[in-house]
């Protein structure tokens, strides 16, 4: 009887260990602290959990008072996807801006600086960077989150980002394996499908992941996408062929040879939850080769944790999930937690790479803004005249994807209001009707600065911009998404992302010429 109870306790602790749940609030709820004592080894943080750096540090300290070797994970890509600065916008440009500059030393230094902020706040696993190749410009969920459309460019910057984060003592998690760039569907809403053959996947999607694994990325995140060339029945997150047969298999057997942690993308995303169900999907993911179940972006509470824990225990007892597979997954989670706890930064501040040491002064002086300035592509500057009076800034706002969220401010308006006194701003959406006419009426005599994201994907914004440029020859156009449409306007600025620093860099050009 005693042996049976001990085995049951071990099984329950292993089931808790593989979960990476979110929770509500800016302090730890009692139920979460209780489950940390019972075996929960990770938590995931989101914008709802963060008010300030000081508050975040207190929160992680509260959690580690219960479990010192806890993995505290966050979805902090910088750029458009930020949790640290969800209410203000990021101090660091995102991947597309860094890929545009194409200076791996700069990418490494930005990642190190961001990782240092995470580490100082007690975060030791970052669900970043995105290693997706942006091979489909109409992709609704990747876009500026990718370093670009060239697999080898994406690979060298993915590696640099991994190196920068991990030099700061934060485990990197390259996503979304085996690649989310060639999709036209957002997996938050439905199941995307990529029909490329295996050879195309190996020479395009898989190139950055192979490079990241070889560079020692501690973690890889799976994607909820169907790739018939790998598995015609199940999406990557639930596919043994993708996770065990491709990601884990040794290189000499055609795999990538990843020996670190495999984390799922959010299991509450509809590509999984609406098709398989949260609990069933989690069992299948563990059986396929995943080690950690990410859940909590949209689901936060004890009921979710208990339901998943019990589903995994039941699956082992019913013979659907091998006990050894669950134990192996739990051991990998604990192993990464042990690495993170044991990281000791060297006398150089963790900067083992000379290029990082050389860039340290730049990082402390505001490397995020430096990178944002370098990423700008400006058309028409030679004939542009700085404004003689107040401006009117019109932000044409489309629905943001769930990863980005709609609570984070974006655009150059706040900076232009500071730099050009008297400047006014307005926000416009597709439902507003004739947006071009509305902007002209609201602007009056003020020159117009029209700000867009992914003009090529939203016909209503393209129509509005065309009308404004035709009506006012001094119209300035700021593209803060993927710059696929041809430049237009008296001045056109492509920022390659909507981070706060990207907005400031654009505002500097508009205000000062």
Element (H, E) at 283: helix 278-288
Rounded (5°) CA angle 202-207-210: 100
Residues 6+ apart with CB under 8 A from 167: 108, 112, 115, 350, 351, 352, 353, 356
Of the residues 188, 224, 458, 492, which is catalytic? 188
CA pair distance 428, 437, nearest whole angstrom = 11
Q: Which of 75, 79, 212, 74 is nearest to 144 (CA)?
A: 79
Active site residue 188: yes
Contact in structure between 377 and 483 (CB atoms under 8 Å): yes
Contact in structure between 126 and 172 (CB atoms under 8 Å): yes
Instruction: Give the β-pairing of 424-428 and 392-396.
Output: parallel
Q: Which of 43, 66, 77 is nearest to 292 (CA)?
A: 43
Spell out the SS3 assignment of 379-418. Answer: ECHHHCCCCCCCCEEEEECCCCCCCCCCCCCCCCHHHHHH
Grouping H, G, I as helix, E, B as strand and the rest as coil, residue 174 is strand
Q: Which of 74, 211, 234 is nearest to 151 (CA)?
A: 211
Of the residues 182, 265, 291, 353, which is catalytic? 265
Q: Which of 19, 8, 4 is nearest to 334 (CA)?
A: 19
Contact in structure between 412 and 504 (CB atoms under 8 Å): yes
Contact in structure between 129 and 160 (CB atoms under 8 Å): no
Contact in structure between 462 and 489 (CB atoms under 8 Å): no
Instruction: Give the β-pairing of 377-379 and 491-494.
Output: antiparallel
Tokens of 508: 């500097």
Active site residue 265: yes
Contact in structure between 467 and 459 (CB atoms under 8 Å): no
CA pair distance 387, 158, nearest whole angstrom = 40
Residue 323's Cβ-count burial label (10 Å; 0-12, 13-18, 19+) is: middle
The DSSP 8-state label assigned to residue 134 in this structure reads -
Q: Supply the residues annotated as catalytic.
A: 188, 265
């Amino acid at each position: 009887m005693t042996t049976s109870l001990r085995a049951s306790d071990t099984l329950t602790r292993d089931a808790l260990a593989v979960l990476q749940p979110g929770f509500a609030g800016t302090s730890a709820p009692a139920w979460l602290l209780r489950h940390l004592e019972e075996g929960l080894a990770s938590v995931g943080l989101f914008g709802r959990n963060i008010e300030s750096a000081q508050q975040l540090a207190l929160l992680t300290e509260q959690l580690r008072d219960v479990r010192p070797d806890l993995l505290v994970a966050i979805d902090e890509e910088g750029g458009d996807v930020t949790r640290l600065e969800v209410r203000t916008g990021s101090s660091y440009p995102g991947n597309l801006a860094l890929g545009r500059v194409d200076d791996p030393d700069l990418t490494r230094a930005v990642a190190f600086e961001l990782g240092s902020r995470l580490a100082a706040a007690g975060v030791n696993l970052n669900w970043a960077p995105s290693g997706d190749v942006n091979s489909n410009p109409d992709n609704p969920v990747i876009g500026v989150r990718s370093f670009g459309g060239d697999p080898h460019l994406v690979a060298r910057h993915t590696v640099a980002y991994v190196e920068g984060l991990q030099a700061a003592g934060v485990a990197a998690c390259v996503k979304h394996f085996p690649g989310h760039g060639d999709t036209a569907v957002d997996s938050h809403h439905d199941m995307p499908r990529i029909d490329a053959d295996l050879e195309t996947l190996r020479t395009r999607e898989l190139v950055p992941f192979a490079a990241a694994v070889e560079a020692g990325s501690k973690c890889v995140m799976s994607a909820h996408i169907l790739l018939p060339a790998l598995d015609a029945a199940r999406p990557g997150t639930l596919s043994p062929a993708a996770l065990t047969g491709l990601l884990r298999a040794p290189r000499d057997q055609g795999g990538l040879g990843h020996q670190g942690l495999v984390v799922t993308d959010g299991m509450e995303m509809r590509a999984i939850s609406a098709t398989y169900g949260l609990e069933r999907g989690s069992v299948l993911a563990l059986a396929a080769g995943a080690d950690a179940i990410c859940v909590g972006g949209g689901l936060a509470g004890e009921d979710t944790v208990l339901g998943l824990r019990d589903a995994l225990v039941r699956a082992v007892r019913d013979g659907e999930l091998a006990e050894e597979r669950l134990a192996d997954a739990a051991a990998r989670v604990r192993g990464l937690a042990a690495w993170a706890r044991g990281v000791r930064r060297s006398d150089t501040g963790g900067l083992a790479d000379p290029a990082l040491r050389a860039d340290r002064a730049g990082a402390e002086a505001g490397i995020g803004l430096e990178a944002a300035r370098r990423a700008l592509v400006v058309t028409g500057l030679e004939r542009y005249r700085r404004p003689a009076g107040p401006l009117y800034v019109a932000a044409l706002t489309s629905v943001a994807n769930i990863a980005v969220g709609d609570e984070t401010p974006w655009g150059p308006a706040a900076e232009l209001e500071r730099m050009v006194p008297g400047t006014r701003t307005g926000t416009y959406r597709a439902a507003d009707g004739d947006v071009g006419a509305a902007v002209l009426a609201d602007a009056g005599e003020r020159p117009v600065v029209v700000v867009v994201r992914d003009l090529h994907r939203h016909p209503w914004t393209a129509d509005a911009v065309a009308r404004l440029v035709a009506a006012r020859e001094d119209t300035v156009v700021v593209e803060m998404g993927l710059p696929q449409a041809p430049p237009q306007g008296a001045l056109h600025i492509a920022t390659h992302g909507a981070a706060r620093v990207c907005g400031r860099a654009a505002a500097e050009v508009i205000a000062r010429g």
